[in-house]
């Protein structure tokens, strides 16, 4: 599901029991405040402080890295906690994070990570391999702790920390994503006090202990998130005195705030907003190929891993011919030209062309091209014919009317929804747009027919591929799974397992493309577009900021913390290079040396992501 974005996910659904409220809140000791003794809120930035304010259209689903799925949340976690390995902002290759080196055994079943000695938690304690081992072991033994990133550890057999600087992961079988474990490493001495990971939201005691470039100091749901620079961050502290993510439900209001100088940065601009801002002084518009896809997802019949079915998706959508007919009645060219107004390219495969290694296009004979006449024939062949009033009838004799979930805050959903009413109306099918502020509840319950969907894809696509496996389904109808929209297909699952164990980059890319082909043929995911990252910032507040990739890349929702860590205040004077830029260069060289020494392919995976998810 998609909210205007960015990894995670343009829209991840919110797990059911995330927020702590009233009596449901946990009572904890040593490091966490209880509801009866709330932690004092941190003061806002002092006069004269340089504040970087980022307008966001997506609310935080959870500040717990074990639960968060939305891109805004996972992006914040990248700022709060180090991952073992990061991605170079120039070309996405693996560079050191909390780990300075990583190498496999000859059989590639044991991976050893060397943990740096110059990373400390913000409470002064040393970050060690034991913190990483505890994080992974918790995810391996507690289903609730595996809510957000469980797919990374499913293949782990054993994780140990023989010393403070050595982490050892033993695998059940080879895993190509071992240099792309997009899992925030948390401080054991803080998190081991949490009793219920399904409920603890990490939002009651401030500042939150972390070791990333920023420290979370305050949070108000659907309002703001405040962070201060981590002065001891090993790459060097950020240059702004405070970073604030401010929530705007209305995109026009966010743009107006940018024009007034009330915020420094705005993303997810509409074509009209971008055109207007390009003519204004002190504002720079960044329009670059994006890392996400925009799709229409079909309810394939919601089900759980225990075999139980639930929800009320329209039964006609279980017929592949019907799904293909709907696919062929969508004019992608119109979507690009009229809705995105050229700020996107037509979609087909599951992975955007920005990631050329995995980008896939259907063959000529496979393409489900725009062809309303053939779409009508397919519906006839499937037994869904028109009555005397020109309406298609279901097997129950009633006119077919599809409910489409859309995001109330996303103008693209509404605009394309109106086109669907026209295009599918010509086929004799009714369309009801169900535009909500919260699409999560009906999505999780399976009470929808189709829904606008979108994910930010990471340099390695493993995570966004994993959400369509049978293993991602909820255990029971009452549970929350990692599934995107309940797809479960044995052929797809077999290919997923095969690509995960393949270290040869060319062979793995070929398998991934086979998976995309299978998704396309199934017709559950209709990828309509790959939107550009269209965003803007005030040059009188931000002197320079890193895009990812540095040539024609995005600022918001990166696979890393580079943008907000590198940002230089406009009145700072001197060089615009970040104080820790040398660390990036050195890290890139060190990472490259490890790659050569290991002689294997280190896959770079998502998240935001949810590689981050959207």
Q: What is the pLDDT of residues 238-287, one digit of tens each?
A: 999 999 999 998 999 999 999 999 999 999 999 999 999 999 999 999 99
From CA 117, how far away is CA 98, in angstroms rounded? 9
Picking from 510, 531, 552, the residue at the C-terminal end of a domain is 531
Virtual CA dihedral for 197, 200, 202, 204, nearest 10 degrees?
Answer: -160
Same-domain status, 258 and 312: no
Q: What is the pLDDT of residues 75-99, one digit of tens each?
A: 999 999 999 999 999 989 999 999 9
The sheet carrying 166-171 orders its strands as: 99-104, 110-115, 166-171, 156-163
Give the relative orientation of helices 490-500 and 505-522 as an angle to the nearest 10 degrees.
160
Q: What is the pLDDT of residues 200-230, one digit of tens each?
A: 999 999 999 999 999 999 999 999 999 999 9
Same-domain status, 144 and 258: yes
pLDDT band at 70 (very low <50, low <70, confident <90, very high): confident
Residue 598 lies in a domain: no
The CATH number of residue 513's host domain is: 3.10.105.10
Q: What is the pLDDT of residue 571?
A: 87
Mean pLDDT of 159-172: 98
Same-domain status, 471 and 516: yes
From CA 207, how far away is CA 203, in angstroms rounded? 10
Q: First-to-last CA distance in the chain?
A: 8
Q: What is the pLDDT of residue 44?
A: 52
Mean pLDDT across the chain, nearest whole number? 87
Mean pLDDT of 46-57: 90
The CATH number of residue 55's host domain is: 3.40.190.10
Among the residue ranges 35-39, 106-110, 492-496, the one predicted with the least confidence is 35-39
* Residue matched to tokens 């293993």: 471
State both tokens at 257: 């705030």
| 462 has pLDDT over 80 | yes
Mean pLDDT of 579-607: 32
Same-domain status, 251 and 308: no
Residue 27 lies in a domain: no
Please state the pTM of the whole predicted model.
0.82
Residue 520 lies in a domain: yes
pLDDT band at 11 (very low <50, low <70, confident <90, very high): very low
Same-domain status, 541 and 458: no
Residue 57 lies in a domain: yes
pLDDT band at 332 (very low <50, low <70, confident <90, very high): very high
**Other beta carbons within 10 Å of 55:** 25
Integer angstrom CA distances of residue 247 from 59, 154, 251, 561? 7, 35, 10, 19
From CA 198, how far away is CA 14, in angstroms rounded? 12
Same-domain status, 117 and 142: yes
Q: What is the pLDDT of residue 584?
A: 31
Q: What is the pLDDT of residue 585?
A: 30
Q: What is the pLDDT of residue 130?
A: 98
Q: What is the pLDDT of residues 534-555, one digit of tens each?
A: 999 999 999 999 999 998 999 9
| 525 has pLDDT over 70 | yes
Residue 14 lies in a domain: no
| 325 has pLDDT over 50 | yes
| 599 has pLDDT over 80 | no
Q: What is the pLDDT of residue 587?
A: 33
Q: What is the pLDDT of residues 347-401, one digit of tens each?
A: 999 999 999 999 999 999 999 999 999 999 999 999 999 999 999 999 999 999 9
Q: What is the pLDDT of residue 37?
A: 29
Integer angstrom CA distances of residue 89 from 95, 311, 533, 548? 10, 42, 16, 5
Residue 579 lies in a domain: no
Same-domain status, 217 and 268: yes
Same-domain status, 246 and 320: no
For 547-607, the DSSP string reads: -BSSSS-BSTT-SSSHHHHH-EETT--S--S-TTHHHHHHHHHHHHHHHHHHTS-------
Same-domain status, 393 and 443: yes
Q: What is the pLDDT of residue 488?
A: 97
pLDDT band at 589 (very low <50, low <70, confident <90, very high): very low
Same-domain status, 346 and 260: no
Q: What is the pLDDT of residue 46?
A: 67
Structural domain boundaries, residue 400: 294-531
Q: What is the pLDDT of residue 69?
A: 86
Q: How many domains does the chain have?
A: 2
Residue 124 lies in a domain: yes
Same-domain status, 318 and 214: no
Q: Which of 323, 316, 318, 321 is nearest to 303 (CA)?
A: 318
| 580 has pLDDT over 90 | no
CB 369 within 8 A of CB 328: yes
Residue 350 lies in a domain: yes
Same-domain status, 526 and 560: no
- Phi/psi at 318 (5° precision): -75, -10
pLDDT band at 45 (very low <50, low <70, confident <90, very high): low
State both tokens at 130: 């034991």
Q: What is the pLDDT of residue 574?
A: 52
| 32 has pLDDT over 90 | no
Integer angstrom CA distances of residue 410 from 10, 279, 437, 591? 11, 24, 10, 39
């Amino acid at each position: 599901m998609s909210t205007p974005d960015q990894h995670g996910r343009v829209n991840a659904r919110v797990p059911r029991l995330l927020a702590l409220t009233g009596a449901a809140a946990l009572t904890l000791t040593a490091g966490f405040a209880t509801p009866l003794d709330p932690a004092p809120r941190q003061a806002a930035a002092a006069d004269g402080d340089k504040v970087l304010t980022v307008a966001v259209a997506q609310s935080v689903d959870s500040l717990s890295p074990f639960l968060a799925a939305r891109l805004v949340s996972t992006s914040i976690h990248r700022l709060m906690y180090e991952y073992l390995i990061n991605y170079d902002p120039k070309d996405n290759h693996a560079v050191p994070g909390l780990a300075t080196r990583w190498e496999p055994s000859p059989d590639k079943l044991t991976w050893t990570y060397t943990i740096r000695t110059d990373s400390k938690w913000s409470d002064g304690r040393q970050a060690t391999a034991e913190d990483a081992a505890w994080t992974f072991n918790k995810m391996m033994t507690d289903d609730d702790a595996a809510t957000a990133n469980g797919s990374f550890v499913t293949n782990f057999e054993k994780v140990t920390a023989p010393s403070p600087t050595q982490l050892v992961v033993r695998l059940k079988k080879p895993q190509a994503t071992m240099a792309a474990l997009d899992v925030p490493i948390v401080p054991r001495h803080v998190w081991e006090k949490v009793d219920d990971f399904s409920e603890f939201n990490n939002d009651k005691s401030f500042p939150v202990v972390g070791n990333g470039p920023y420290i979370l100091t305050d949070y108000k749901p659907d309002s703001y998130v405040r962070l201060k620079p981590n002065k001891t961050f090993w790459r060097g502290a950020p240059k702004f005195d405070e970073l604030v993510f401010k929530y705007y439900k209305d995109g026009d209001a966010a743009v107006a705030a940018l024009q007034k100088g009330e915020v420094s940065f705005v993303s997810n601009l509409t074509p009209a907003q971008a055109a207007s801002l390009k003519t204004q002084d002190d504002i720079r518009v960044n329009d670059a190929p994006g890392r996400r896809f925009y799709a229409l997802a079909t309810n394939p019949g919601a089900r759980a891993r225990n075999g139980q079915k639930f929800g009320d998706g329209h039964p006609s959508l279980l017929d592949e011919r019907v799904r293909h007919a709907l696919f062929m009645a969508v004019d992608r060219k119109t979507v690009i030209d009229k809705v995105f107004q050229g700020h996107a390219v037509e979609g087909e495969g599951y992975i955007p062309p920005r990631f050329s290694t995995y980008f896939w296009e259907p063959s000529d004979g496979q393409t489900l091209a725009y062809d309303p006449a053939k779409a009508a024939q397919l519906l006839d062949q499937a037994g869904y014919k028109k009555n005397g009033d020109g309406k298609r009838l279901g097997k129950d004799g009633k006119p077919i009317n599809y409910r489409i979930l859309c995001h109330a805050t996303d103008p693209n959903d509404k605009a394309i929804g109106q086109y669907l009413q026209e295009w599918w109306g010509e086929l004799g099918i009714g369309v009801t747009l169900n535009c909500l502020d919260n699409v999560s509840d009906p999505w999780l319950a399976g009470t929808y027919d189709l829904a606008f969907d979108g994910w930010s894809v990471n340099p390695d696509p493993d995570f966004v591929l994993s959400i369509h496996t049978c293993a991602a389904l909820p255990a029971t109808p009452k549970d929350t799974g990692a599934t995107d929209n309940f797809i479960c297909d044995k052929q797809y699952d077999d290919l997923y397992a095969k690509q995960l164990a393949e270290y040869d980059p060319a062979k793995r890319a070929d398998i991934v493309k086979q998976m995309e082909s299978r998704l396309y043929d199934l017709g559950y995911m209709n990828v309509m577009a790959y939107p550009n990252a269209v965003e803007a910032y005030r040059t009188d507040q931000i002197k320079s900021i890193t895009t990812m990739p540095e040539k024609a890349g995005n600022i918001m929702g990166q696979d890393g913390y580079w943008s907000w860590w590198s940002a230089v205040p406009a009145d700072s004077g001197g060089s615009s290079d970040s104080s820790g830029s040398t660390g990036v260069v050195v890290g890139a060289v060190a990472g490259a040396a490890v790659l050569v020494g290991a002689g294997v392919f280190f896959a770079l995976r998502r998240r935001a992501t949810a590689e981050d998810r959207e």
